Structure 1
């Protein structure tokens, strides 16, 4: 009985070992097939191209009409070359025009200029507008504009601007203009708004502003409808400011006068005293994202 009990146990152990060995071989074979498929994929078999010239009618219908799309342009079409505006090659104009202000904007076509033609009242022009006769505004730069005079480019510059056309900041020596009793006195009657309303020239404006700042700079700044933005940051124009009659708008920021930054009423008082003896004044204003430069003669 003991011998018969041991025999089945030995047989079962042998079968179990053979089964494990067979399973191991099967898994190894499947693993090798997977490795070979990854390492050496089956070659791609391409169909043999058709021999013999195919007629136009045998082409796929999907390509029909492709030539009408002109994917590579129209054969023989002429492209117009853009007209280049080169300010360096534009001589100074001989026309009776006076440049009073410029606005350099982005994009360039939004730039504009304030120009007086033949001694008439100044007007506002955008690029492409007719300034006088056959003369159009072609380009606007920060210190000059380019005119298209019947196809010929010409330069119109600010008058008597120190350092115009160069990088030199210092202005040449010139005689000092001393006010005399024969000169028209600045308006003195009424409040500040009424006095500004009587101003007829840039020199009168400087005289009135200097007189007001001499009494109390901060009070005068408030009366003019200006808000200091900080030393060197300029003055912002408030709604209702009497300066609006001089083409300023609420929200404009007066940045510099004769390239000197503004924003400190005490130091700006001495700047106005210097301007009173100058021949011209150059004012820079920020309007939105645009900078407007206006040039005025004082004598």
Structure 2
């Protein structure tokens, strides 16, 4: 059976996708105890480590066929800024070197790395790529809207296939029909409140007006940020983030997306165990690889590796 380890495992998007693809995830690590706790709850047969991977002891990690990794994206993402000299962002970006360190020690046949597309503009990306090349690895680069892989969410992400092949892997990702947000929204649950209530921001009311004029009585809109337009529930939702973002309108009532809806939008299975705390669940969901996207990429990479 093909085996894998999962770096920066979080709630387990990569691990869940790998399991669905028939891969045995042997070992998973994250620096956040809450993430490790819930990853372990969902993957009880995987060995878990709570650790900053800058200090990882790779000798204690089992040999594996595939390395899965989602290094921190905050230092690259447009949402958080990426100026050099910012200690928080520079430390975040540096987590990608754990991939190089693990590959150097274990030399797996394949490493699959997910991040935001801005990772390619990182000043040290050429050096990171060259470090892998020095060990005989080639990188196939794919920028993918996860909606094209069957995820009911427009989520543009970078997927890298790092292999020992003579040339970068020629991976084909079949484009799936887009799935609507309507699939995972439960209009019978949640804490609803009137759209037009005292204290509601003018920008919120304007988004609701736009939605009602264009999509009728049921629609989505971004509750925070600069987006001024609403969004049909008959198309994929926009990107699920680490904080509450999406509001649902049903007639004259509205509410934020529930934690379970966030997980469903990410394609986590319905039986996924999660914290009771809404905020912690949303944070881990927004940081994750959508399991369905992970599964499709793993299957496609293994088909040509």
Q: TM-score range by the shorter chain?
A: under 0.3
Q: Which has the higher contact order (CA 8 A, sep 6+)?
A: 2
Larger C-alpha radius of gyration, 1 or 2?
A: 1
Q: Tell me the TM-score normalised to structure 2 length.
A: 0.22
